[in-house]
Structure 1
């Protein structure tokens, strides 16, 4: 019996060990499953860092996609448009034609001045001379009488900088260098600048009621109080004798800057006033010989004046024409060099009037994407240029040709001898030929 009873405990022990092992394995599997379930639950509550970054990027992408697109801008076109000058990367603030008629200079918020060739206005491609304005940007620009230099008003410094234009061997403009900064003498912002055609003085007109007369070296010759509450515009007459200002008051005040026979400054004396508007004058302009002036006012009219007077004999300017505008908002006016065309800009639109008849010849809408900041005629009365954004639009002066025909026909009727009538007829034929070349009839 003793030998037969030994195997039972061995079997029992083996069975017990197997049961323990199975129990351990089962517990391990249960624990693993619980851990996995816990991790998955945690994963649902808070994604890993990479997942969060991806989600953030997607949100940004979605936001970018949902951002409204900029409205596509259609390039401006018009039958009278000769060309558009493109080169600035920010809005253009000022322009000026050189007295020799060869160049147009433009200054911009992009700290750049570009000088364009007028003879290329009829071409598709336009080259320009680039001038960088160091540490500032120019708001206004004016050529010197000899077209060999120009001045600009500086936005930050609030003063005048003088640039000299070099010359290449072929006579074309060369390097342009800044040669002088005037001292800052006034806190109010510069509104307008100008140079006398005699080369004797420079004018700065400020936004308060101050106008300053300088010599060419930056020394103050005189300071004028315009008594207009606030100035709106200032200019030097092309004849080089006068400075003028307009503002809140319904008139334009004109002074003569006087020099003695030796060329030394003597005084500034009140010359005459343009009176006739019933509200403030936004802007005014002289023609090339200073015998005509055009004004535009808050009263909703423009006026053309005969300023060929002897003010020392108490003669007053004579009103020639008054035109209705249909708006009273801030406006700019430009008078062609021959005094036959009046252009008025308001907002981003333009009205062009026949200065001989006073009739509106053309209204052109939506010329620029922003309000027109500057406009003017070239020295030969061929073009009218405007700017209100990064581009300059160059228009054929069609109304000018038509006004020339009207003026010459009237003069021909008054002519007393045949030779004079023949010369006038030749000029009429020339103007009509110019209109035909543009596909228009007089």
Structure 2
């Protein structure tokens, strides 16, 4: 798969003569606080990641003359589900990176800036440079905030001494370096007490590492693998949790439930956990020779302190319509939303068309016409040739795309994760295209073969 694409035509606005931009055509640049006129767009999207781009693309597929602006500070766009493949040595990081410019939907305006404040009472967004951007409708999709600092010692320890995390592109390559060069000992993989994006990722890299230890590097006989999770089960959906219990039992992995990582002490190679017991909470220290950390996460700070935030700090939206519970011209999807489902790209893919239909209905003063059923998907890699395609909806209801037992490990699903899903992301999801009906026909045939 190519890592470059032909730049799309971007709608632009000429900045006032008294301001300076970053010099790239098609981008509204950050300017000084004292000389910035107010900008207005019909629809403003906060966030140019998977959710924001998909929502904008879905809207423009339905109505090409919409005036949509996407506020996104990064000049790169990342396929984050690929970072597990990077950490497992399956693919290079470069395979999962595009220039942000190439994924901005044709007809949308890209404002390259960071949001500092959401002001829904005045229908405006304020950037860190002080730029005021007014809107008729707002889509909030800034993704999730990774709170590395909430684990004492972690920010300083990352990227050396066997301390790593696939939740950053900066450390995913080091994960593979650590696994490949591991000489034996105790390898710990953690899961925090907060909601996180891609809840299966901490286990995926653990199973890949265990494969390397046992069959490739030969250090398995001298290695103890621990999964330390703050949760009471391996997975939120009982059927998939039961399947994963068989995986860890087969592999001889030790699971420690209700263990929440609180600190890293790299000088002594200790991981400090807060453990919930029947008698309360206690502190436990575990030695590590390598540790993969899934850090705590939350909604971005500018979301948490805004009037849009609900319980937990997430954008407070109706779980079916994706419309804000108090501001009818505001919608949200993806990781920053309050939607009670796993935070994955697959969830955003299903949310985007629902949001588009309901926002367009709102523009016509009509009630919501589409409903999101909570669908999400977590491709649970259980080894270098096996994967459980965990698809489910609200209430933990199984929602498989294929007419087979979804709790079984399959080679075909592994192939789909490594080869098909990235292609669908770049070429269908981010372009607002439907793909289930046509694309999955040959995949169904492949599934039945393996």
Normalised TM-score (structure 1)? 0.27
If you compute each CA radius of gyration, which structure gives the higher value, 1 or 2? 1
Please give the TM-score of this superposition, normalised by the length of structure 2: 0.27
Give the number of the structure with larger relative contact order, counting CA–CA contacts within 8 Å between residues 6 or more apart: 2
Instruction: Determine which structure has the larger helix proportion and give its number.
Output: 2
Greater percentage in strand: 1
